[in-house]
Amino acid sequence: MLNVYSTALVTDDRGRKYRLDPELTDVIATSRDYDRLEWAWLAWRDATGPSIKPLYVQLVERMNRAALDSGNHGNTFC
């Protein structure tokens, strides 16, 4: 998941490329323009979400398996 987050790029309508850090982080931290903030959020979500989802599902399955294996039957994550 870290690899997806650290390598993803989004491009604005002017062709400028943004990584999460520092470019998109700066936009989100400093902009008060609703449309710009919405763009930053949606572009990042669309760039990372499809790749992250199966990895996240796999992570939760492994964490649940580890909880069950350690005897924590009531403490699964999903």
pLDDT surpassing 80 at residue 78: no
CA-to-CA distance for 42 and 36, rounded, in angstroms? 10
Q: How far is CA 32 from CA 12, 23, 42, in A?
A: 17, 15, 16
Return the domain boundaries, the chain: 2-51
Q: What is the pLDDT of residues 18-70, one digit of tens each?
A: 999 999 999 999 999 999 999 999 999 999 999 999 999 999 999 999 988 88
Instruction: Reduce the DSSP state of residue 10 to 3 states and report it.
Output: strand
pLDDT in tens, 14-24: 999 999 999 99
Cβ atoms of 47 and 6 closer than 8 Å: no
